[in-house]
Chain A
Amino acid sequence: MFGYVRPRRDLLAQSEFDAYHAAYCGLCRTLGKQFGFRSRFLVNYDMTFLYLLRTSAAEPSGVRNCWCPARVCGRRACMQDAEGFLPAAAYTVILSYEKLLDNVRDESFLRSLPFRILTLLFRRAYRKASKLLPDFAALCERQLAALQELETARSPSIDATADAFARIVSGCVNDLSDPGLRRPMEQILYHTGRFLFLADALDDLKEDCAKDAYNPLRYRFSVSGGALTQADLDYLSQLTDSSVNLAGAALELLPMQANRILLENIIYYGFPAVFFAVKTGKFQARASLWHNERHKTDHTGEST
Chain B
Amino acid sequence: MRDPYEVLGVSRTASDSEIKTAYRDLVKKYHPDNYANNPLADLASEKMKEINEAYDAITKSRGAGSSYQSGGYQSGGNQSYSYGYQSGGSASSPYAQVRSYINANQLDAADSLLNTAPTRDGEWYYLKGTIAYRRGWLDEARQHYQTACAMVPSNFEYQNALRTVQGGYTPYRQTNYQRSDMDEACNLCNALLCLNCLCGGGGCR
Report yes or no: A163 in contact with B136, Cβ–Cβ below 8 A: yes
Say what secondary structure dominates the interface of chain A: helix
Known: A246-B38, A249-B35. A264 touches B43 (CB 8 A): no
Report yes or no: A264 in contact with B175, Cβ–Cβ below 8 A: yes
Please tell me if A56 contacts chain B, counting CB pairs below 8 Å. no
Q: A230 to B172: give the CA distance in the assembly, Å.
A: 29
Partner of A184, one of B43, B173, B175: B43
Q: A184 to B47: give the CA distance in the assembly, Å.
A: 13
Report yes or no: B173 in contact with A163, Cβ–Cβ below 8 A: no
Partner of A269, one of B132, B135, B177: B177
**Which residues on B sit within 8 Å (CB–CB) of A159?**
132, 136-140
CB distance from A298 to the nearest CB of B (A): 15
Report yes or no: B136 in contact with A191, Cβ–Cβ below 8 A: yes
Q: Mask for B40-65, Cβ within 8 A of A = 1, else 0?
A: 10011001000000000000000000
Partner of B40, one of A187, A240, A242: A187
Report yes or no: B177 in contact with A239, Cβ–Cβ below 8 A: no
Partner of B167, one of A242, A264, A269: A242
Q: A255 to B178: give the CA distance in the assembly, Å.
A: 26
Q: A253 to B51: give the CA distance in the assembly, Å.
A: 13
**Which residues on A sit within 8 Å (CB–CB) of B172?**
248-249, 252
Report yes or no: B177 in contact with A268, Cβ–Cβ below 8 A: yes
Partner of B38, one of A163, A240, A249, A264: A249
Which residue of chain B is the closest to A190 with respect to CB atoms? B136
**Which chain B residues in 141-194 approach chain A with CB under 8 Å?**
142, 164-170, 172-175, 177-178
CB distance from A271 to the nearest CB of B (A): 11
Q: Mask for A223-242, Cβ within 8 A of B = 1, else 0?
A: 00000000000000011111
Q: A166 to B40: give the CA distance in the assembly, Å.
A: 17
Report yes or no: B30 in contact with A239, Cβ–Cβ below 8 A: no
Q: Mask for B7-24, Cβ within 8 A of A = 1, else 0?
A: 000000000000000000
Chain B: residues with CB nearer than 8 A to chain A?
29-30, 34-35, 38-40, 43-44, 47, 132, 135-140, 142, 164-170, 172-175, 177-178
Chain A: residues with CB nearer than 8 A to chain B?
157-160, 163, 166, 180, 183-184, 187, 190-191, 194, 220, 238-246, 248-250, 252-253, 264, 268-269, 272
Shortest Cβ-Cβ A-B pairs, 7 listed: A241-B167, A159-B137, A242-B167, A238-B167, A252-B172, A242-B138, A253-B43
